[in-house]
C-alpha cells in the first residue's frame, strides 16, 4: 500500500514560483500576458503549479529582472530580451530587429528555424532559460513634430529612441536623447526633443502624444517586438517533467494570445485616436531615408558579427531565414493586401 501511496502523494505536491514582471501594476496587454500564463498553468496542472506575479511597482527594478532571476530572488521574469544588451550583447537579437521579420515570420524562426536553440545557447551561460512572451506586432516609427523628407532632415534630430535602433539613427546624424518617461510628454510638447518612439496605438493612446505631435510615422525599427519569459535554471529543474511541459505550453499560448490582443487593441485605439484627432497625419519615411537606414543597419550588424562569433551565428541565421520566408510572405500576405486594396 505504501508503495502505491508514495507517488500519489508526490503528485499532489504544489510548486510555487515567484515571477517579476517589468511593467507597472494594471499595465494593459504586457501585464495580461504573464497573468494569462499563470492562470492557464495553474488550471492545467490542477493547482499543482502556482505562479505569483510581482509588478515593477513592488520590486522597483524593471531593468534588473535579468539579475534578479539569475540570482534566484525570483524564479521567473516577464520582460524583453533586448533590455539586456548592456549585460550580454547577444541578448539583443531575440526581441526584434530593424528591417527584420514580422511576428508570424519570427515565430516561425523561433520554433522551426533554429531560433529557440540559439536563444538557449545565449541564456545557458547565465543559467537561465528564455521563451517568447508575447508580441506587440509592428511598432510605429514614432511621433514627430517635423516632417522627414530627406536624410538631411534626420541630421541633428533629437529623438527619444533607445537601444539598437537609436544606434542606427545616430549613424545618420540623428541625436538619440535620454528623457525620463515622466518628462517625455512635456519635452515633446515644448520641443526639447523633436520626436520620440513608443509602441503603437495600443499603448500610445494613453500617453497623449497625438495631441502634441502631428506626424505619426510608420514602423521600420521594431517590426515584431517579442517579450520574454525568463526562468532560473535551478527553479526549472526542480519542476517535475509534466509541470515543465505545462509551463511550456502555457507560455507559448500566452505569448500568442498577447499578439492577437495587441492587434485587437491597436485597431480599437487607432479608431479612437482618429475619431478624436482626425488631423493625425500618418507618414511613411521616403524611400531614400529607408535605404539610408538600411545601409546603416547592415553596417552595424556586420560590425557586431565581426566582434562576436555567437552574434555572427545568430545574425546569419536570421538573415537566411528572413530571405526564405519573406519570399513567401511577399507573394502571400503582401500580394493579398495589395491586390484587394483598390484605390
The site for Na ion, by CB under 5 A, has a size of 1
Query: What is the dihedral sign for C-alpha 110, 111, 114, 116?
Result: positive
Q: Which listed residue (90, 135, 187, 202) binds another protein by CB under 8 A? A: 187
Q: Does 274 bind another protein (CB under 8 A)?
A: no
User: Is residue 215 within 8 Å of 145, Cβ to Cβ?
Assistant: yes
Q: For Na ion, give the closer residue by CB, 55 or 139.
A: 139
The per-type count for the chain, helices as H runs and strands as E runs, is 14, 11
3-state secondary structure at position 120: helix
Q: For another protein, give the closer residue by CB, 206 or 334.
A: 206
Q: Which residues contact 189 (CB under 8 A, 6 or more apart)?
A: 212
3-state secondary structure at position 269: helix
Task: Give one DSSP letter per residue of 280-320, joined into a string.
Answer: -EEE---HHHHHHHHHHHHHHHHHHHHH-HHHHHHHHHHHH
3-state secondary structure at position 133: strand
Q: Does 309 bind another protein (CB under 8 A)?
A: no
Q: Contact region for another protein (CB under 8 A) — 69-77, 104-112, 257-265, 273-281?
A: 69-77
Q: For another protein, give the closer residue by CB, 66 or 110.
A: 66
Would you give the binding string for another protein spanning residues 9-48, x where CB under 8 A is met?
Answer: ---------------xxx-x--------------------
Q: Does 182 bind another protein (CB under 8 A)?
A: yes
Task: Give one DSSP letter per residue of 238-249, joined into a string.
Answer: HS-HHHHHHHHH
Q: For Na ion, give the closer residue by CB, 33 or 139.
A: 139
Query: What is the dihedral sign for C-alpha 12, 18, 24, 29?
Result: negative
Q: How far is the CB of 264 from another protein (least distance, A)?
A: 17
Q: For another protein, give the closer residue by CB, 24 or 47.
A: 24
Measure the CA–CA gap between 304 and 113, rounded to whole angstroms: 21
Q: How far is the CB of 27 from Na ion (least distance, A)?
A: 14
Q: Does 116 bind another protein (CB under 8 A)?
A: no
- Tell me the three cell numbers of residue 116: 529557440
First to last CA, the chain: 76
Q: Does 58 bind another protein (CB under 8 A)?
A: yes
Q: Does 324 bind another protein (CB under 8 A)?
A: no
Residues 133-172 that bind Na ion (CB under 5 A): 139
Q: For another protein, give the closer residue by CB, 68 or 254.
A: 68
Q: Which listed residue (67, 257, 298, 313) binds another protein by CB under 8 A? A: 67
- Tell me the three cell numbers of residue 306: 565581426
Q: How far is the CB of 58 from Na ion (least distance, A)?
A: 24
Measure the CA–CA gap between 296 and 67, rounded to whole angstroms: 32
Q: Which listed residue (15, 42, 108, 189) binds another protein by CB under 8 A? A: 189
User: Is residue 79 within 8 Å of 30, Cβ to Cβ?
Assistant: no
Q: Find which of another protein, Na ion, none residue 16 binds, CB within 5 to 8 Å per kind.
A: none
3-state secondary structure at position 210: helix
Q: How far is the CB of 276 from another protein (least distance, A)?
A: 11
- Tell me the three cell numbers of residue 72: 534566484
User: Is residue 140 within 8 Å of 216, Cβ to Cβ?
Assistant: yes
Q: Does 166 bind another protein (CB under 8 A)?
A: yes
Q: For another protein, give the closer residue by CB, 86 or 309.
A: 86
> Which residues bind to another protein, rule: CB under 8 A?
24-26, 28, 55, 57-61, 63-64, 67-68, 70-71, 73, 82-88, 156, 158, 162-163, 166-167, 170, 175-183, 185-187, 189-192, 206-208, 211-212
> Which residues bind to Na ion, rule: CB under 5 A?
139
Amino acid at each position: 500500500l505504501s508503495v502505491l501511496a508514495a507517488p500519489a502523494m508526490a503528485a499532489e505536491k504544489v510548486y510555487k514560483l515567484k515571477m517579476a514582471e517589468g511593467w507597472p501594476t494594471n499595465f494593459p496587454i504586457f501585464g495580461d500576458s504573464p497573468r494569462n500564463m499563470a492562470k492557464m498553468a495553474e488550471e492545467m496542472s490542477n493547482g499543482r503549479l502556482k505562479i505569483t506575479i510581482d509588478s515593477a511597482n513592488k520590486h522597483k527594478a524593471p531593468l534588473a529582472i535579468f539579475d534578479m532571476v539569475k540570482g534566484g530572488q525570483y524564479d521567473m521574469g516577464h520582460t524583453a530580451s533586448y533590455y539586456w544588451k548592456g549585460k550580454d550583447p547577444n541578448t539583443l537579437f531575440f526581441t526584434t530587429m530593424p528591417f527584420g521579420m514580422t511576428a508570424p515570420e519570427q515565430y516561425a524562426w523561433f520554433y522551426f528555424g533554429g531560433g529557440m536553440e540559439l536563444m538557449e545557447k545565449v541564456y545557458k551561460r547565465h543559467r537561465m532559460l528564455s521563451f517568447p512572451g508575447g508580441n506587440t506586432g509592428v511598432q510605429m516609427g514614432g511621433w514627430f513634430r517635423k516632417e522627414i523628407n530627406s536624410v538631411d532632415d534626420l541630421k541633428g534630430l533629437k529623438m527619444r529612441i533607445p537601444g539598437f535602433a537609436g544606434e542606427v539613427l545616430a549613424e545618420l546624424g540623428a541625436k538619440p536623447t535620454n528623457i525620463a518617461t515622466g518628462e517625455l510628454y512635456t519635452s515633446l510638447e515644448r520641443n526639447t526633443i523633436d520626436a520620440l518612439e513608443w509602441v503603437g496605438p495600443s499603448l500610445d493612446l494613453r500617453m497623449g502624444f497625438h495631441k502634441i505631435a502631428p506626424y505619426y510615422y510608420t514602423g521600420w525599427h521594431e517590426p515584431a517586438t517579442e517579450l520574454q519569459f525568463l526562468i532560473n535554471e535551478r527553479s526549472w529543474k526542480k519542476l517535475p517533467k509534466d509541470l515543465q511541459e505545462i509551463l511550456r505550453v502555457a507560455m507559448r499560448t500566452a505569448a500568442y494570445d498577447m499578439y492577437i490582443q495587441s492587434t485587437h487593441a491597436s485597431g480599437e485605439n487607432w479608431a479612437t485616436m482618429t475619431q478624436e484627432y482626425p488631423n493625425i497625419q500618418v507618414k511613411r519615411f521616403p524611400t531614400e531615408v529607408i535605404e539610408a537606414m538600411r545601409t546603416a543597419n547592415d553596417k552595424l550588424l556586420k560590425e557586431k558579427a565581426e566582434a562576436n562569433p555567437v552574434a555572427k551565428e545568430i545574425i546569419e541565421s536570421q538573415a537566411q531565414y528572413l530571405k526564405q520566408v519573406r519570399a513567401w510572405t511577399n507573394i502571400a500576405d503582401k500580394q493579398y493586401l495589395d491586390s484587394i486594396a483598390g484605390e
